[in-house]
A and B are shown apart, each in its own frame.
Chain A
Amino acid sequence: MNAFVRMLTHELRLALRGGGDVLTLVLFFVIVGAIVPFAIGPDQALLARIAPGIVWIAAFLAMLLGLERLFRPDYEDGSLILLRHAALPFSLTVAAKIAAHWLVSALPLIIASPILAMLLAMDGEAFWRSILSLLLGTPALAAFGAVGAAVTVSIRRGGLIAPILIAPLSIPVLIFGVGAITGQQAQAAMLFLAALSLMALALAPFAAALAISSAED
């Protein structure tokens, strides 16, 4: 437990000392949302209708940006080999990394989402629902992302391949994520989203650990 917490804080410390890594993701998230009104035109009703989709697309893309940081630096400086020999089982190490990845690349987006809601003319209820659906859905994106990053860790420029691998996995998250904001059966969509996240979080650490172990071979 001690080592798990240490791994988590280690990752957070590295990310926060990164000199604006986190801020870059948040800015990217806001900018994607901000350019949409300019591209679509100032039709408030239309904007409000597509806003949930925009929020989810922006969150998805911003989280992809952070994937490269998940395993690659550790792979390149040799830490990954040593972590496999640590006293903490490697899948738990990966789980700690996924948790840190969510805290660094999803939580700041959720905190920044009021800005997006304002830019996209969302009403109050849709705003609260979008926050809830992001909270429930982004863990699944983080978990799928980790698997993609793990599979491509030994490939140069793997950062470009990982999104292609995880896009199909992420589509259900986007469908139910947007459905939870606007859909007829928002309640059911929320439950599906939560189920997706729980399942992904339970399986991803083992899948990612296995992918890394066989990548080196």
Chain B
Amino acid sequence: MTGRQVFPPLTLRAEGLSCGRGGMALSQDLVFSVPSGQCLLLRGANGAGKSTLLLTLARIIRPLSGSFGIDGADEDMPLIHYCGHRNAIKPRLSVCENLDFWRTMNGANGVSSQAALARVGLGHLGDLDAGFLSAGQTRRLALARLLVSLRPLWLLDEPTAALDVDGHALVGQLIDTHLAMGGMVVAATHDPISLSKAEQVQTLQLGAVS
């Protein structure tokens, strides 16, 4: 699945987007456009509004003003994978059951659960209760969810949190593969993410509201 365009050409476009929480504006008049095969890295200090922007893009919270949308998309299609701070993993279910559940709920059009677990380095732990996983392993399981259902736009909030050095590299590879398939990524992170092609990356500095 390398280098093959899977998704139709789409563009995530925001114009004059202001978002905030509890009525307090965190970022104002953002303008960006992320075409297929591009990654937008959100940078900024703690509290700069990175997570808020991602939640806004995920349509969980309403923007204060401005608009955004995905050009060229069929509105009925689920387009977004949101991967937030909270991993949405049930400790009482096994690793495989957790992933299979989301595979059914989100649409099983990606790789198989086994393949996804192997990809994120949990291949041998499928039958273990997810409650026994370490923080980093839980994070890897949450990332596996991105692979079992294909969706063009990934919204990643601190994807490398709790991950080891290999995990950081893994996140980079997953994003690389996704971009090669014609996907879009918006990621908030403090860590450097190394992607194979530097021209695929835009950076948006948040928190410099003047």
Contact = CB atoms under 8 A, between A and B. Distances in A.
B85 to A, nearest CB: 7
Interface string A63-106: 00000000000101111011111111000010000000000000
B68 interface: no
A77 B80 CA distance: 19
Given A17-B92, A18-B92, A82 B60 contact: no
B107 A87 contact: yes
Interface string B121-142: 0000000000000000000000
Nearest to B151: A85
A14 interface: yes
B86 A85 contact: no
B106 to A, nearest CB: 6
Contacts of B60: 81, 84, 216-217
A77 B81 contact: no
Interface in B113-160: 145, 149
Contacts of B10: none
A49 interface: no
A81 B84 contact: yes
Q: Is the interface of B mostly helix, strand, loop or mixed?
A: loop
Interface string B34-63: 000000000000000000000100101110
Contacts of A81: 58, 60, 82, 84, 86, 88
For chain A, give the interface size range: 20 to 34
Contacts of A76: 86
Contact of B86 (A78, A87, A93, A216): A78
Given A77-B89, A77-B90, A82-B88, A10 B101 contact: yes
A46 interface: no
Contacts of A18: 92
A2 B145 CA distance: 18
Interface in B72-105: 78, 80-82, 84-90, 92-93, 97, 101-102, 104-105
A119 B102 CA distance: 45
B92 A216 contact: no
Interface in A181-216: 216
A125 B184 CA distance: 65
Contact of A78 (B84, B97, B104, B149): B84
Contacts of A79: 88, 90
Nearest to B100: A6
Nearest to B84: A78
A18 B93 CA distance: 10
- Of the listed residues B60, B61, B84, B97, the one surrounded by the most CB atoms of chain A closer than 10 A to its CB is B60
A93 B81 CA distance: 18
B57 to A, nearest CB: 12
A198 B149 CA distance: 35
A86 B78 contact: yes
Contact of B58 (A7, A10, A85): A85
B78 A13 contact: no
A216 B60 CA distance: 7
B105 A78 contact: no
A78 B80 contact: no
A85 B84 contact: no
Interface of A: 2-3, 6-7, 10, 13-14, 17-18, 74, 76-79, 81-88, 93, 216-217
* 6 closest A-B pairs by CB: A78-B86, A79-B88, A6-B104, A86-B105, A78-B88, A87-B107
7 contacts: A3-B104, A6-B104, A78-B86, A79-B90, A81-B86, A83-B105, A87-B106
